[in-house]
Amino acid sequence: MDNNKIVTSNYNKKRLFIGLLAGSYLTLVLIAAVMWRISAPGLREIADILPLVSGIVLALFFGIVGLGIAGLVAAAAGLPFFPFVLRRTTGMVNLLFPLVVFFGGLLGFKRRQIESSFVSVSNKIFHRMNIKVPADRLLVVTPHCLQLDTCPHKITRDPMNCKRCGRCDIAALVTMAEEMGFHFFVVTGGTLARQTVKRIRPKAVVAIACERDLTSGIQDVYPLPAVGVMNLRPNGPCFNTHVDLDEFRRELENIIILPERKKDEGAGQNG
């Protein structure tokens, strides 16, 4: 078995991040309550109403955050949720992520496990929000380690330089991009990926990468919706990696508005 793979089920992946997020939230609530209690006498000396006002502000803030986390849990669990609240919760989750990693580390969880769980939750939320975009507004980015290391052809920035020998997965991805019409780029790191997003200005992103790069990439492009597909690393990280092409195609088919679907939607509107 590949040691780089996370062997927990998708359910357990989602449960890990959500549990750590909830634990981090409750820890912050406890810290805020203690700090409020300590500072209350000093605030009362300034004005009698200040402890009450500050308490109400803290309660409202953490109440809104708590509702957002509850919506996240509901969406990940397949329960009803409010999309408006969930969109704003995603940004808050990104801010809390370092605390989640720290809290998870104290409990003995490795960062890679937490990142994998984060990507799983993020993907679930993406699909629960039923995000659909035309193929020409979808950007797909992959790491350069997907290319065979002995290949002499430079495909970063222009994957069409691929000669499609079939020795790595780039050829299949280039062919898929031509067939389906989405933008496809091979990048060497986060900087180039961000530049590509700014240049293409897509409505959604699908990225193939490892847990670390997917986590940072999803957070970097926020509020742009993004889906992460974990790469396969039979030769170790960052070297001759692969992607499950069937899984990747399923993700695309779930996101892209196919021509037939657009035609059907137009007919429905006219009717």
Domain boundaries defined on the chain:
10-126, 132-266
- Token code pair at residue 95: 């801010």
- 3-state secondary structure (DSSP) of residue 77: coil
Q: Which fold has domain 132-266?
A: Rossmann fold (3.40.50)
Contacts 24+ apart (CB under 8 A), 24-31: 24/96, 24/99, 24/100, 24/103, 25/62, 25/65, 25/66, 25/69, 25/96, 27/99, 27/103, 28/62, 28/99, 29/62, 29/66
The mean pLDDT value of the chain amounts to 86
Residues in the chain: 271
pLDDT value of residue 81: 72
Of all residues in the chain, the percent with pLDDT exceeding 90 is 65
Name which of 28-32, 36-40, 188-192, 245-249 the model is least confident about. 188-192
pLDDT value of residue 261: 45
Average pLDDT over residues 155-167: 90
What DSSP character marks residue 132?
Answer: -
Quick one: which of 115, 113, 100, 104 has its CA closest to 28?
100
- Token code pair at residue 149: 């290391």
Rounded to 5°, the CA angle 247-253-256 comes to 135
pLDDT value of residue 12: 59
172 vs 193, which has greater pLDDT? Answer: 172
Of all residues in the chain, the percent with pLDDT exceeding 70 is 89
pLDDT value of residue 125: 86
pLDDT value of residue 183: 96
Q: Are 37 and 30 in contact (CB under 8 A)?
A: no
Residue 95: pLDDT band by 50, 70, 90 thresholds?
A: confident
- Token code pair at residue 131: 């995000």
pLDDT value of residue 182: 96
Q: Give the distance, in angstroms, between the CA of residue 75 and the centroid of all CA atoms in the same chain.
A: 14
Residue 268: pLDDT band by 50, 70, 90 thresholds?
A: very low
Average pLDDT over residues 190-197: 87
Query: Residue 16: pLDDT above 70?
Result: yes
Q: What pLDDT digit, counting tens, does each position of 41-91 carry?
A: 999 999 999 999 999 999 999 998 888 888 888 887 777 777 766 666 777
pLDDT value of residue 79: 78
pLDDT value of residue 198: 92
Distances (CA, A) of 43 to 32, 49, 50: 15, 8, 6
Query: Residue 223: pLDDT above 60?
Result: yes
